[in-house]
A and B are shown apart, each in its own frame.
Chain A
């Protein structure tokens, strides 16, 4: 099945700096790649997603890039703020089912003032 690897597992940045989280996937036919943010005590929340026919997508301070050849995608957060501190999950939709979603193991991001 689809295998999604996420790095780093923890990331600490200073407020105002950028943060980058990277994920790789195994199935070259995967076509949908969402990113979720999970705050303490809450369920994950979709923050941005990208489809395989697009190389980059941006939403204010958040951007996602996709390299289909290398089978990796990345989340970029610029001008980080303390409220960006959370656990971030990447995910990929595998070819064999359009309705199953395989998640990475998460990155705990800490933004220090």
Chain B
């Protein structure tokens, strides 16, 4: 089954404790992206990746890091999480480095930073 998986689905952590949210897709997609969703603000793009070893900042990259060492994986790293990073996070992927074919979204990761 074609899908984007994220782990963990739920995470409660404390300020300053480094964490990684994993994202994996099995569709051989070149393009992958991370979004955060906050009430009243919709979806905002954090980082995206056109292909392996090619990443770029979205609208709200501060406080986040990403890497793309393999085509299927695109982890989101929070080196020193803060309470304002409490949010619902979505990973997405699409074919051919373009979302013209439609982005596939993962199920989301709900992060709470205390």
* Residue ranges of A at the interface with B (Cβ–Cβ < 8 Å): 1, 6, 32, 34, 36, 41-46, 49, 51, 89, 91, 93, 97-106
Contact = CB atoms under 8 A, between A and B. Distances in A.
B98 A105 contact: no
B90 A44 contact: yes
Contact of A89 (B40, B43, B92, B106): B43
A42 B107 contact: yes
Interface in B79-108: 90, 92, 97-100, 102-103, 105-108
Interface residues of B, number: 27
Given A1-B59, A43-B107, A99 B98 contact: yes
21 contacts: A6-B42, A36-B105, A41-B107, A42-B107, A43-B107, A43-B108, A44-B43, A46-B102, A46-B103, A49-B100, A51-B100, A89-B42, A93-B99, A99-B56, A100-B58, A101-B103, A102-B45, A102-B59, A103-B42, A104-B42, A106-B42
